[in-house]
Amino acid sequence: MTTTPDRNRVQLPGISSRAYEHPADRSALVALRSLSGFDTVLKQMSGLISERRLRLIYLASAVRTSETQFRALYDMGRDAAYILDLHRVPEIYVQQDPSVNAKAIGFDDPFIVVTTGLLNLMNDEEQRFVIGHETAHILSGHAVYRTMLDILTRLAARVAWIPLGYIGLRAIVAGLEEWYRKSELSADRGGLLCGQDPEAALRALMKLAGGSQLHEMNIEAFLDQAREYDTAGDVRDGFLKVLNLLGTTHPFAVARVAELDRWRRSGEYEAILGGDYPRRADDANAKITEEMRAAARSYRESWAQSQDPFIGVLRDVAEGAVHAGERIFNRFSRRDAG
């Protein structure tokens, strides 16, 4: 059961997660959803990760929010479910842990875990963004791919002594890590849609980098940092930036703030609040090819906007490969026609 939000936030009836998903994330999810029974197979593969077992652990060792425990957080969860039109409100558990973290867990009956470190760091509206972020993960069904990444990472460690096998698995893991980072950008957008307070969303992400001393920080200055990070250095620095991402599942804080601010300013955020968004009822009609093109277009636009010299080199190489591929394809097409 859901209730109306505690202030005038816009509900988004029947919203599809495709509305806020990053194109690279969305194309992968549309492809995954088209594979009938894939999630069932993955659940069987991940037998070591028992959703029931995890729920029992948190039920025994954490505090479950309710009308009498962490009431404000409990209401935020109900609000997020109301706005994204979830049929079921996910349970929220508060875990005693000084580290700043929140996560959504589970396939069939997902729930959210928030640490006391995060609650101590963020105010109510920033917490609302975080709960919306995790609720967006649930609506998107990100747990399936995340479990796959966990399985393949463990498998890669076990076969590290087989050079070719390890290299192949590492390539797959690197691809999944890139998807994982894009899924975080998607959930940031979903969190903004739930909280509908852009400043609070940007503050929450900035605090992940600088801590609680908000009076010592400034959003515009932090966005300047993001621009400097994008443009700083030469090709060597750009290569180091790529290396720094290896093994990571979350984009850096400056990148997340810049991406969320760019998405908000693009007009998509206001359009969704105005009712212009894809509906869940039409998810089955989403075409993989169209989503793949949108993902490719997103990367091209991102590369075109970047001032990083190394990205410029990659862009030139990629464009050359595309043009060569088109020439080869056209040549064989003419030959087949002949």
List, by residue number, the catalytic residues: 134
Rounded to whole angstroms, the Cα distance separating 218 from 151 reads 40
Chain centroid, CA 209 distance in Å = 18
What single DSSP character describes residue 92?
A: E
Contacts of 179 (CB under 8 A, 6+ apart): 24, 25, 28, 145
Pairing mode, strands 111-115 and 63-64 = unpaired
Q: Which residues are CB-neighbours of 66 under 8 A, at least 6 positions away?
A: 74
Sign of CA dihedral 222, 226, 232, 238: positive
* Contact between 3 and 78 (Cβ < 8 Å): yes
Helices (H), 14-115: 23-33, 38-45, 51-61, 71-83
**Is 200 strand, coil or helix?**
helix
Which residues lie closer than 8 Å to 13 by C-beta, 6 or more apart? 85
* Of residues 84, 88, 106, 105, the one with CA closest to residue 14: 84
Burial label for 28, CB within 10 Å (0-12, 13-18, 19+), is buried
